[in-house]
Amino acid sequence: MPTAYALSHTLPTSATPAFPQAMEQGRQIFDRRACNLVMTSKEARPAVEEAIRTRDVDRPLVYAGMARLTQDIADQVGQYGAIAKVPAASVQNVRNDMYLVSEAVRLIQLRGWPATMPRLCHPTRRRSTPARNSSRSG
């Protein structure tokens, strides 16, 4: 489902169940590429924005940010029960998060992802962001 269309109030309510499923699938993919890094929402936005600006998106830190933003999007839509019910005051933030994730994915795809994606994480090494809270809340 295109993210630009996702917050259009013309999207039928019947499409809402597919939206959180798609967000969860995306979050799981990003989490796997994040090498166990976890970010808050406050950390995720600037990290993904900077990665887009520099076009340096295929890094665990960026995937951690994308996972966080994807979870935030799903939480916002889930909180209101339907995409069309997201209040106007929240729509801009959700749209911004959708843009950041979709633009990062677009840049990653330009590099041939996922077909040419190298392994970023050592399978047994656990990493965390410096001085970061390990919870997903943000």
DSSP letters spanning 62-124 = HHHHHHHHHHHHHHHHHHHSSGGGS-HHHHHHHHHHHHHHHHHHHHHHHTTTTTTPPP-S-TT
For the cut 50, the answer to whether the pLDDT of residue 137 exceeds it is no
Name the more confident of 112 and 33: 33
Q: What is the pTM of this model?
A: 0.75
Determine the pLDDT at residue 8. Answer: 52
Contacts of 51 (CB under 8 A, 6+ apart): 57, 59, 61, 62, 65, 104, 107
Q: What is the mean pLDDT of residues 25-30?
A: 92
Mean pLDDT of the chain: 78
